[in-house]
Amino acid sequence: MKLDPKVPSGPLETKWSNYLRDVKLVSPNNKRKHKIIVVGTGLAGASAAASLAELGYNVQTFCITDSARRAHSIAAQGGINAAKNYQNDGDSVWRLFYDTIKGGDYRSRESNVYRLAENSNQIIDQAVAQGVPFGRDYGGLLDNRSFGGAQVSRTFYSRGQTGQQLLLGAYQAMMRMVHAGKIESYVRHEMLDLVVIDGKARGIITRDLVDGSINKWEADAVILCTGGYGNVFYLSTNAKNSNVTAAWRCHKRGAAFANPCFVQIHPTCIPVSGDYQSKLTLMSESLRNDGRVWVPRDPEDSRPPNEIPEEDRYYYLEERYPSFGNLVPRDVASRNAKLVTDDGMGVGDSGLAVYLDFRDAIKRDGKDAIKAKYGNLFDMYENITDDNPYEVPMRIFPAVHYTMGGLWVDYNLMSNIPGLFVAGEANFSDHGANRLGASALMQGLSDGYFIIPYTVGDYIAGEELPKVSKDHEAFDEAAKDSQEQLDKLLNVKGDKTVIEFHRELGKIMWDKVGISRSKEGLEQAIEEIRSLREEFWQNVRVPGDANYYNKYLEFAARVADYFELAELMALDALDRDESCGCHLRDEFQTEEGEAIRNDEKYAYVSAWEFLDVNGKLETKLHKEDLNFEFVELKQRSYK
């Protein structure tokens, strides 16, 4: 396997403009002869589909939900970054680039991140023109808010529903092209395999989730925009149907999977309340501006929080990080919550929570001021927990939120399989080992609106793409594989449900491949994942049939893929003998518990190749060295 990042030469500032100057074009007459498949209709998928269709290509979109508008991008709350410098506070493309690459702890490609920052301003223009109702000031101009990891105010927002509004903008652009006859949109369709012919991606296999039929679709290029894999942990802030299946099946057809162990764990989520818990709900990072995080100093202290006097409270973030206090980055806040609960100081019935207390802020600013800032979040919290956060401290705990890892792509956002492009959270490209807030929406739309339309054109213009038939044996084989796997799952007829297996897998992942990892724990995790996977295939019970709507069959196939991905994540974490961003290895930290990054040995992208050796899972690690020509690598410190 050869991994060529294909980064254009020259200064950082001109790489993308030079690329655009030289990009190969497809003439309007020829565009209509080409068919492009887009899988997933979140920010990346919907924006890519709309833009390609506007150019004249024939596009087919596929999504698992009942409408393209329901992709999980819709749940993003806070905002989207752009280097407009409307605040005149010194922002620039360079600064946005620098903050993002530093925030990612120097584990991403300079060229890609710089292009992301360059595209950011156009995204805002595009969204406003579509009618996305961003927050505005009294003069009617666009407003900004501040987010973590930056010293400027560059985040555009639509109250707490920025993802919803941006996604609806992209979805509407896409529906406009459906109306124009340039997009065929298939909903309730799940991609189960990639079809590779003569070494190129030439189509996909889907299952119609309503009638259960397995279908074949041919194309000149396939663009995967299927989101992240956080649900491997069972509990996460992802939607229930978010999954890795499409990406994983591409991996099994030869696409390298990069940095699988880079998982963002968000510090402020509502804690688990019982075994029945199906998902976790995020509480915006902004709460840490006014809330103070603490636990009782004495693990035996069972007094209600309001009766615990000041001297018996351990404000651990403020004590350990006096200069950043409660506003340390996400990875640091999450890790420290785990440390204090591991030491028995956690609160609530489960002991797996810490307090986020607004008492002092309410005393200082008044209840009304706090309500004006966080009213909707406080209501949401009360609705879920039945506790009133104006009266008692919130209980919060970290939860899996976003995956920086994903399929490996080059500068063109193309995987190592020619013709297979990967955009949005599904690729590994721009966030390194840690993503900053308000950067995911930016990346999804930069990829979809402003990169894919050029790079896919360049590919189509430069390749021989003879017509392929759906009768080709590669289609038959892939379709047969998909059907057989479903039948196999249904035929196990064991005793344990899919959800039970998934919950157990999630626990292994959370305990041993979660906030902090150790060599010993990871090795145990690999053993446990393997034996649970074996049990899954012998004892899972999947109800119903394959020939009609069957949600638990969908889940079963996705969990089967999680079992394989989980092992790769642990292997990747084991390979990386350093702590960087969200990846903390217990062995590589200072005495005070700070991460020790090792740039000499680990400034590379881990790209894993799937090898099926006599039916046994095998993997091979390839390394893409990260060369930093333009920024100086520094250790992050928040003390």
Amino acid at residue number 292: R
Among 165, 415, 429, 434, which residue interacts with another protein (rule: CB under 8 A)? 165
**Which CB sits closer to another protein, 147 or 156?**
156
Question: Footprint of another protein on residues 77-116 (CB under 8 A)?
Answer: 84, 86
For 551, the token pair is 């949600």
Contact 352, 510 (CB under 8 A): no
Among 544, 586, 620, 637, which residue interacts with another protein (rule: CB under 8 A)? 544
Question: Footprint of another protein on residues 356-385 (CB under 8 A)?
Answer: 380, 383-385
Among 6, 27, 30, 125, which residue interacts with another protein (rule: CB under 8 A)? 125
Report, in Å, the least distance between residue 65 CB and another protein: 6
Among 120, 158, 245, 336, which residue interacts with another protein (rule: CB under 8 A)? 158
Report, in Å, the least distance between residue 222 CB and another protein: 20
Among 46, 80, 124, 195, which residue interacts with another protein (rule: CB under 8 A)? 124
Q: Which residues pair with 138 in a beta bridge?
A: none
Instruction: Give the DSSP per-residue string, 236-272.
Output: SSS-TT--SHHHHHHHHTT--EE-TT-EEEEEEEPPP
The DSSP call for residue 180 is: T
**Which CB sits closer to another protein, 136 or 303?**
136
Radius of gyration for the chain, computed over Cα atoms and rounded to the nearest angstrom: 24
Question: Footprint of another protein on residues 415-474 (CB under 8 A)?
Answer: 449-450, 453
**Distance, CA of 635 to CA of 637 (rounded, Å):** 6
Report, in Å, the least distance between residue 542 CB and another protein: 8
**Which CB sits closer to another protein, 251 or 502?**
502
Query: By CB under 8 A, is residue 389 in contact with another protein?
Result: no
The gap from C-alpha 358 to its chain's centroid, in whole angstroms, comes to 30
For 76, the token pair is 């993003």
Report, in Å, the least distance between residue 425 CB and another protein: 15
Among 43, 74, 570, 603, which residue interacts with another protein (rule: CB under 8 A)? 74
Question: Footprint of another protein on residues 332-351 (CB under 8 A)?
Answer: 349
Instruction: Give the DSSP per-residue string, 37-50.
Output: EEE--SHHHHHHHH
Query: By CB under 8 A, is residue 387 in contact with another protein?
Result: no
Question: Footprint of another protein on residues 495-534 (CB under 8 A)?
Answer: 497, 499-500
Query: By CB under 8 A, is residue 134 in contact with another protein?
Result: yes
Among 552, 604, 630, 638, which residue interacts with another protein (rule: CB under 8 A)? 552
Among 1, 129, 369, 633, which residue interacts with another protein (rule: CB under 8 A)? 129
Report, in Å, the least distance between residue 616 CB and another protein: 30
Question: Footprint of another protein on residues 273-332 (CB under 8 A)?
Answer: 273-274, 276-279, 281
Among 31, 34, 70, 288, which residue interacts with another protein (rule: CB under 8 A)? 70
Question: Footprint of another protein on residues 27-56 (CB under 8 A)?
Answer: 47, 50-51, 54
**Which CB sits closer to another protein, 145 or 279?**
279
Query: By CB under 8 A, is residue 485 in contact with another protein?
Result: no
**Distance, CA of 139 to CA of 100 (rounded, Å):** 30
The gap from C-alpha 4 to its chain's centroid, in whole angstroms, comes to 24
Query: By CB under 8 A, is residue 159 in contact with another protein?
Result: yes
**Which CB sits closer to another protein, 106 or 421?**
421
Query: By CB under 8 A, is residue 10 in contact with another protein?
Result: no
First to last CA, the chain: 43
Amino acid at residue number 521: G
- Helix runs in 493-518, H state only: 498-512
Contact 526, 571 (CB under 8 A): yes
Whole-Å CA distances, 556 to 187, 231, 460, 500, 545: 20, 13, 36, 11, 12
Question: Footprint of another protein on residues 168-197 (CB under 8 A)?
Answer: 168, 171-173, 175-176, 178-179, 185, 187
CA-closest candidate to residue 453, choices 33, 10, 130, 31: 31
Which window, 14-22, 64-72, 331-339, 603-611, contacts another protein (CB under 8 A)? 64-72
For 321, the token pair is 């990080």
Q: Residue count at the site for another protein (CB under 8 A)?
A: 81
**Distance, CA of 352 to CA of 345 (rounded, Å):** 9
Query: By CB under 8 A, is residue 241 in contact with another protein?
Result: yes
CA angle 128, 131, 134 (to 5 degrees): 60
**Distance, CA of 300 to CA of 314 (rounded, Å):** 14
Among 7, 23, 128, 546, which residue interacts with another protein (rule: CB under 8 A)? 128
Residue appearing with tokens 């994540």: 569
> Any idea which residues carry the catalytic annotation?
330
Which window, 91-99, 260-268, 286-294, 537-545, contacts another protein (CB under 8 A)? 537-545
**Which CB sits closer to another protein, 84 or 371?**
84
Report, in Å, the least distance between residue 224 CB and another protein: 19
Question: Footprint of another protein on residues 259-278 (CB under 8 A)?
Answer: 273-274, 276-278
Residue appearing with tokens 């200072």: 590
Q: Which helix (H) or strand (E) holds 538?
A: helix 519-539
Write b or e for each residue in 202-213: b if 16 or more Cβ atoms lie within 10 A of its Cβ, otherwise e: bbbbbbbbeebe
Contacts of 33 (CB under 8 A, 6+ apart): none
